[in-house]
Structure 1
Amino acid sequence: MTQTVGMLPGHLTRRFAILIDVGYLYAAAAELLLDATSRKDYRVDAEKVIGSLMERAARRLPDGELLRLYWFDAARDRVPTVDQRVIANMEFVKVRLGNLNSRGQQKGVDAQIRSDLEQLARHRAIHDAILLAGDEDMVPAVEVAQAYGVRIHLWGVEPPYGTNQAERLVWESDTVETIDADELRPYFAKSGTAAAATRGMVGAPIAEPEPEVPSPAAVFGQRQSVAVTMNAADALAQAESARPKFVRTTQTGEKLDPETVRSIGEYVGHKWLLTRGADNIADLLPGPQLPTVIDKELLVEAEKELGYSLRDHPEARIWVRDGFWERVHREFDIED
C-alpha cells in the first residue's frame, strides 16, 4: 500500500518544530543584503521575519502541525532586550537566550539548540525539525534526532559567494533549502534609513546623529549605560538604592498623589537603565508611546511599588509614563 510522504499511518498529522539560530540568520542576511558585519549597522523587523518563516514552513510541510518556533539569540547577562521581550510574547514562539560577552560574542547558544533538538526527538514531540543554522556543532544533535526518527530539514541563507554552512551539516540533513535574498529583503534595512524607520524595525542601536541637529533618538543611542561595566545583580542592587521613599497607597478610594506616582515611574526608568542598558532602552525611542508589552510591564511594576491597582485610574497611568520618560530624558540630557 502506498503511503503519502509527510503522513503517518492512519493519516495522523506530523508535528514539526522550527529552530532558528538568530546569530546565523542575521549575520548571513546582513552580509548578503547590506554588506554589513555588525548588528549596529542594520535593523530587522523580527516579528515579520518570524511570520514569514512560519508561512514558509507551512508551505513546505502542508500536512504538518507546528509545535512551536524556537528563537535562539543572546543578550548581555541573559537580560532580554526590548525586541526579544516583544518576540517572546508572540504565539507559538519560544525565546532561548545565551550570553553575550563584552566582545559581542555569543556563548551557550549552540548548546541550547542541540539540547532542545535532542529533547524534542527523545520525547517524540516532533516528527520533523526545520533547522535554520550553519555551524558544524549542530551535527551531533542532528544525528541523535534522526536516530529517534526525526527528519531534519536544513534551511540556509543564500550566501553572497561560496557557502555559509558547514559541509558536514549539509551532508547529514535529510533535505536542504536556501532562502534567497528576495525573500529576506523586506525585513532588513541599514540603520538610520527611511526603510528602517517606516517599517518599525528593531534589533540595533538608533542611527548616528545628524551633524547639525541630532535627534533625541540619536543622542540616546550614542550613550552608554553603567550596565555595560557591571553585571545584572550589581546593577539591580544600585537601582534598589535609588528606590523612592514614599508611603504605599493601600486603602481603596484613597486619593493618589501625582508626585508619588510620577516618582515611581522615574524609579522604574532608573532601574531599567541600569539593568537593561542604554542600547536596549534606545529601542523605545522616540517615545512617548511604548510597545504594548513594555507599557504593560511598566504599569505592573508601578502597581507593585504602590500596592495599588491603576486599572481604574487612567490619569495615574499617565503620571507613571511621564515619570518614566522624565528619568530617561534626564539621563541623556534630552529636552522635552
Structure 2
Amino acid sequence: MDRCVVLVDAGYLLGAAASLLAGEPMRSQISVDHAALIRGLRERAEADTGCDLLRIYWFDGAPDRVPQPEHRRLRVMPRVTVRLGALTRSDGRWAQKGVDAAMHAELTELARNRACSDIVLVTGDGDLLPGLMSAKEHGVAVHLWAVQAADGDYNQSEDLVAEADERRVLDRSWITEAVRATEPSGAYPPRSASRPEIAAILSAPLPESAKNGSAPVPPVPPHPAAPVPPSAASAPPASETADDAAAAEAEGEEGEPADSGRSTTGVPTPKDLAGLGRPAPPQPGHGTPPGATLRWSSERGWVERGTPGESQEVAALPMLAQLTTAEQRWADREEDITAVSGDPFEVGQVFARRWQERLSSPGHVQILAREYPRIPHRIDGELLRYAARFGLLAHKDDQIDEHDRYAIRAGFWREVDAPVAGQTGQTGQTGQAGQPGQTVPDEDASVAEQ
C-alpha cells in the first residue's frame, strides 16, 4: 500500500536539537512548537517518499507513563499517535524505559501487516537494528533521518546508518522552523511599575541553596502608604531580633558557638519575606487566640489544626472549583491541552485569571490582595493540585519542586497584581498587599494534603 509512516524517537529528536541549538542535550533548554514540528515532519516525509502520510507515531518517556502537557497536545493532533514509555530517575539522571521496545514492536508490526510501503525512522538508537532489518525483509523501504550533529559528526548508530535504504539529515535551518533555544532562566520581568514592591520580589533571583530560616532577612523599609505604629519606633529592628534569637538557639546549653559552616548571607526565602511585618505566631503553651484555627484541605475533608489560622473573611473566599460550571470545566480542559504550555509561571497565571474572571464580587480580589504574599490555604492547595496536572510533581515524594512552587505562586500574584494595581491607583489605597514578600511554600505538606 503506497502510504508512509513516520516513527519519531522524541528523546533523540529533541535531545539532538537541544545539543545543536543550546549546546546541551537537555530539553529544558529549548522551546518547541509541536504543531509546526508535526507539520514539517509530514511535509518532508511525503516529499521524500512520494506517498501520502498514514500516521506519525511519537514515542517518548513520561514519569509513571502519565502524559505530560506536550503529549496531551500531540495526541489530539490529526494523524498523530503518542506511545509512552516510563521515565525513571537513577543517580540523578532521567532514563527512558520501554521506548525502544515499543518502537521495535510498531516497526515490525507495520511491515508484517503491509500497512505502508515506506517507513521513516527519526532515531539514532542501534537497538532498532533488528526491527529495521525485519521491515526490509517484508518489502518496506526504510528512511533514516538524523538531526544535524552539533560537532559535525554522526549522532546515530553506524550499523543503523549502514542498513537504512535512504538517509537524510535534518539541518539547523529545518530544525529552527519549530524549535528555539530558550533564554537563560532568570528573573521574571515586572508587568507594571505601579507597585514596585511586588515587581521587586518577582524580579528577585530564585533561592538556590538557602532553606527556610537559614539565611538572615535583610531589613525592609515599610511601605510609604502604610502608617508605622508608635510601638514600632521603640522596638528593636526585626533583623536584630531574628539574629539574636538565632544566635541564642545555636549556642546551646553549654555556650558553644554556632556552627561555623552555617550560611550568613543568601537570598531570603519566601518564608523569610512573608514573615516581615507580621506578628509572630504564639508558641505552644503560650496560649492561642480564641476561635483561631488553621484549616487545611485534604481528601478526607476539613481537618482542624491547633495553630493560628486565617480570618473568617479570608477562609470564606471561594475556590475555583466552586466558581466553575460544567461547561467551563470542559473549556478549561481544552485550553489546558491545546494552549497552556505547562511552564510553572504560566500555570499560576492561568489559574489566577480564571479565578478572577468568575468571581461574583470584585471585593474578593481586594481581600486576597490584603493577604499578600500569602495565598489562602484552600486556594493555594487547589492551585498546586492544578499545577500537578502538568507534570510538575517531583515523583519521588509527591511534592512540587521548590523552584516550581516559587514560579507558580509568582505567576499567580502577577496575574492578581494587574487589576489590584488598577483599583488601588484609582482609590489611592494599597493596604497590606503593598508589603514586600513572597508566597510561603509549605515545605512539609504534599500536594494531596494542601
TM-score calculated relative to the size of structure 1: 0.62
2:115 match: secondary structure = coil
Partner of 2:116: 126
Partner of 2:134: 144
Partner of 1:282: 344
Aligned residue identity for 1:176? R
| Cα distance, 1:115 vs structure 2 | 0.7
Measured in 2, the distance between the counterparts of 1:214 and 1:155 equals 47
Aligned residue identity for 1:209? A
Aligned residue identity for 2:4? F
Partner of 1:328: 383
Partner of 1:275: none
1:124 match: secondary structure = coil
Partner of 1:204: none
Partner of 1:175: 166
| Cα distance, 1:289 vs structure 2 | 7.9
Partner of 1:227: none
Change (3 A) 1:324 1:67: farther
* Counterpart mapping for 1:1-336 below 5 A: 14-62=2-50, 64-102=51-89, 103-159=93-149, 160-192=151-183, 207-209=185-187, 213=200, 215=202, 241-242=298-299, 259=318, 262-263=321-322, 280=342, 282=344, 284-285=346-347, 287-288=349-350, 327-328=382-383, 332=406, 333-334=409-410, 335=413, 336=416
1:126 match: secondary structure = coil
| Cα distance, 1:119 vs structure 2 | 0.8
Aligned residue identity for 2:172? A
Question: Over the residues paired in the alignment, what is the CA RMSD in angstroms?
Answer: 4.2
Aligned residue identity for 1:42? I
Larger RCO (CA within 8 A; separation ≥ 6): 1
Aligned residue identity for 1:242? E
| Cα distance, 1:243 vs structure 2 | 6.5
Partner of 2:430: none
Aligned residue identity for 2:135? A
Structure with higher Rg: it is 2
Aligned residue identity for 1:70? Y
| Cα distance, 1:281 vs structure 2 | 6.2
Specify every segment of 5 or more residues in structure 2 that has no aligned partner in the other structure, as ranges.
Answer: 190-198, 207-296, 303-316, 334-340, 360-377, 386-404, 417-450
1:98 match: secondary structure = strand
Measured in 1, the distance between the counterparts of 2:23 and 2:67 equals 27
Measured in 2, the distance between the counterparts of 1:94 and 1:151 equals 21
1:287 match: secondary structure = helix
1:104 match: secondary structure = strand
Measured in 2, the distance between the counterparts of 1:134 and 1:158 equals 12
1:288 match: secondary structure = helix
Is the contact made by 1:67 and 1:92 (CA closer than 8 Å) also made in structure 2? yes
More helix by share: 1
